[in-house]
Amino acid sequence: MKFSCEKLVLQSAIATTTRAVATKSSIPALEGLLLVCRDGTLTVTGYNMQLGIRTRFACDAEEEGALVLNARLFGDIVRRMPDDTLTLVADDALTVKLHCGDADFDIVGLAAGDFPELPVVEEKNAISLGENTLASMIRQTSFAVSTNEARPVHMGSLFEVYVDALTVVSVDGFRLALRRVKLDKAAGVFSFVAPGTALNEVEKICGEGDDPVVVTLGDRHILFEIGDTELICRRLEGEFLDYKNAIPRKNSIFLTVDTRTMIESLERVGVVINEKLKSPVRCLFGDGSVTFSARTPSGDAKDVCRVGGDGRNLEIGFNNRYLTEALRYAPADTVRMELNTGVSPAIIVPTDESDDSFLYMVLPVRLRA
């Protein structure tokens, strides 16, 4: 195999695919990247048996071929080479020569046959939406994905596809995050759960533009096609939370909240709270304002945040980080907060009641007298 390409293009491909490489494996090839040079295109693949990422780009190919190179070593070499045209030459003994500018390296590769094949995703259903749209939906819900291995299905996000809309939902037992967007068209009505770890990589791969991303659902796997890059992951199986019945909507208290103002107020009070000194934020919702307070061995903190509406002197406690994150990821400068009792969740939704593009729910924490 022999090809030449721009060093920065190859470096970008390595950085993308290395995210799917196993850090330690009894199969040496899984710690490597598969390079396939064919028809003037170089395809780079990383796969850890759970997640696979494959990307391709045009190269100046003189001899076609395929081999596996250790991802860490190959990545370190390419990253440190000068910004110039890089040439890779491999012989039948899998001795690899890398040349770029005045730098030369000789390393040893592995046979391409040692690299396991990525699953083939046979299309059952598919949707298409813009890169920026998908990335923002993942970012605004993934913070609520569970890390509790006791409920593996909640370690991912639920995708619900309807005729004209896509809903993404994440839950972790303490909070819920929901985003919904309109679709130009969908292939049908279906749902699946994608692993949170895979979705985080999808978000990183997506660009700033709104070029289409095709999401294809197979029997056991999901394929995300983002430009010249493909990501394949396993579907999570199990019964996802019946979130529609878990969200209380018959609330009696409605407040208009400026998200930035409330976040800053919560952060001021949260200065005395840390991982060792955990304490809920005590919230007293009055007429036109909410008083936040916290008490830990480090000290006491208190702050007042202006809101629109009457909280009827409701006192309720929340995990400071959970409430702050719900406000931070809500895609609006002003939101409506719905409350009911001291043991009922807080609901954060758009101020326009006809808008159902997002919903965040945070469960309360019981306060000591």
Does the domain formed by 2-114 have CATH 3.40.50.300?
Answer: no
Instruction: Read off the tokens for 323.
Output: 């409430």
Q: Are 218 and 225 in contact (CB under 8 A)?
A: no
pLDDT at 367: 87
Sheet holding 60-63, edge to edge: 60-63, 2-6, 85-90, 95-100, 103-108
**The domain 247-362 is classified under which CATH number: 3.40.50.720, 1.10.580.10, 3.10.150.10, 3.30.70.20?**
3.10.150.10
Q: Is the fold of 2-114 the same as that of 247-362?
A: yes
In angstroms, the CA 125 to CA 110 distance is 37
Q: What is the pLDDT of residues 219-243, one digit of tens each?
A: 999 999 999 999 999 999 999 999 9
pLDDT tens profile 324-348: 999 999 999 999 999 999 999 999 9
Q: Which one of 72-86, 203-217, 355-369 scores highest in mean pLDDT?
A: 72-86
Q: Would you list the domain boundaries of the chain?
A: 2-114, 125-243, 247-362
pLDDT value for 204: 96
Share of the chain above pLDDT 90, in %: 90
For the four alpha carbons of 101, 106, 111 and 116, in that order, the dihedral sign comes to negative
State how far the Cα of 14 lies from the Cα of 154, in Å rounded to an integer: 30
Eight-class DSSP state of 209: S
- pTM, entire model: 0.93
How large is the average pLDDT for residues 240-267? 96
Q: pLDDT band for position 170 (50/70/90)? A: very high
Where residue 187 falls among pLDDT bands split at 50, 70, 90?
A: low
Residue 119 pLDDT exceeds 70: yes
State the average pLDDT for the chain.
Answer: 95
* Second CATH level (architecture) for the domain 125-243: Roll (3.10)
* Tokens 């009505």, residue located: 189
- pLDDT at residue 210, rounded to an integer: 84
Cβ contacts of 41 within 8 Å, gap of 6 or more: 56, 57, 58, 59, 61
| Tens of pLDDT, residues 5-63 | 999 999 999 999 999 999 888 889 999 999 999 999 999 999 999 999 999 999 999 99
Contacts of 135 (CB under 8 A, 6+ apart): 202, 203, 206
**pLDDT tier, 160 (very low <50, low <70, confident <90, very high otherwise):** very high
pLDDT band at 275 (very low <50, low <70, confident <90, very high): confident
| Per-residue pLDDT, 369 | 66
Q: How many CA atoms lie less than 13 Å away from 316 in the CB half-sphere?
A: 23
In terms of C-beta distances under 8 Å and separation of at least 24 residues, what long-range contacts does 159-162 make, across chains too?
159/191, 159/192, 159/193, 159/194, 159/215, 160/191, 161/125, 161/127, 161/186, 161/188, 161/189, 161/190, 161/191, 162/186, 162/189
Please give the span between the terminal C-alpha atoms of the chain, in angstroms, as a whole number.
Answer: 73
State the pLDDT at residue 197.
96
Lowest mean pLDDT among 66-75, 112-121, 172-181, 206-215: 206-215
Q: What is the DSSP string of 162-175?
A: -SSEEEEEEE-SSE
Cβ atoms of 351 and 274 within 8 Å: the answer is no
